[in-house]
Chains A and B, each alone.
Chain A
């Protein structure tokens, strides 16, 4: 069974500073995918970034980067130059490999608050 753990229920950051949101995962599949999604207070789910288990380089999307450390089974999200609009709930998620390819497991989420 696969598992995603986000140990930070809440994080605070000053505007324009960088912040790291932690995510660790557990799976026995050699092939898997890792995602980060953002959920603002309005409730919609917004895709941020994806990392495949065989990708050699860390994924980046604008101000978002995924610090993928395979041996440690961690997939931390780094947001550079935080903005007030980054205040939201952030979810880490993992797609299974093998015969459960479509199965997606989410973490509990981290609420990020950006202070001016």
Chain B
């Protein structure tokens, strides 16, 4: 079964404590990307990756890091989270950027 697995679903943390949100796909897709969703702002792209070892900034990359060491995984790293990073995060993947994206279930992050 085609899956995009995102973990954790919910996370409460404190300012400055490094965290990683994982994203894994079993569809052998080249394209993966991360978004944050905030009320009234829709989804905003954080980073995207066109293939292994190829990553690029989206519209709101500040405060986030990513890596793409293997095709199936695309973790999102918050080195020093701040309260303004409290948001709903989605990972998405697709065969190419111009085809439909498969989204993970989302991670609700609260930074206190």
List residues of chain A with CB within 8 A of the CB of B105: 43-44
- B31 to chain A: which residues have CB within 8 Å? 102
Select from chain A the residue with minimum beta-carbon distance to B97. A102
Say whether A104 faces chain B, with CB atoms less than 8 Å apart: yes
Q: Which segment, of A65-73, A79-87, A105-113, faces chain B? A: A105-113
Give the total of A residues in contact with B, Cβ under 8 Å: 23
In B20-68, which residues have CB < 8 Å from any A CB?
31, 33, 35, 40-45, 48-50, 56, 58-59
Known: A33-B98, A103-B58, A104-B97. A91 touches B43 (CB 8 A): yes
The reply to whether B42 and A104 form a contact with Cβ atoms under 8 Å apart is no
Q: How many A-B residue pairs have CB under 8 A?
A: 63
| B77 lies within 8 A of chain A by Cβ | no
Residue B103 at the chain A interface, CB threshold 8 Å = yes
| B101 pairs with A91, CB closer than 8 A | no
Q: Are B103 and A105 in contact (CB under 8 A)?
A: no
Within the complex, what minimum Cβ distance (angstroms) separates B55 from chain A? 9
Interface of B is mostly: strand
**A52 touching B98, Cβ below 8 Å:** yes
A101 neighbours in B (Cβ, 8 Å): 50, 97-98
Nearest-CB residue, chain B, relative to A99: B56
- A25 on the B face (CB < 8 A): no
Residues of chain B contacted by A108 (CB below 8 angstroms)? 40-42
| Closest chain B CB from A112 CB (angstroms) | 15
| Cα distance A45–B90 in the bound complex, in angstroms | 9
Docked-complex contact A35 and B90, CB < 8 angstroms: no
Chain B residues with Cβ below 8 Å from A52 are 98
Quote the shortest CB–CB distance from A55 to chain B (angstroms). Answer: 11
Which B residues are within 8 Å of any A CB, using their own CB?
Answer: 31, 33, 35, 40-45, 48-50, 56, 58-59, 88, 90, 92, 97-103, 105-106
Give the 8 A-B residue pairs with the shortest CB-CB distance, closest first.
A45-B103, A47-B100, A106-B43, A106-B42, A102-B48, A102-B97, A108-B42, A33-B98
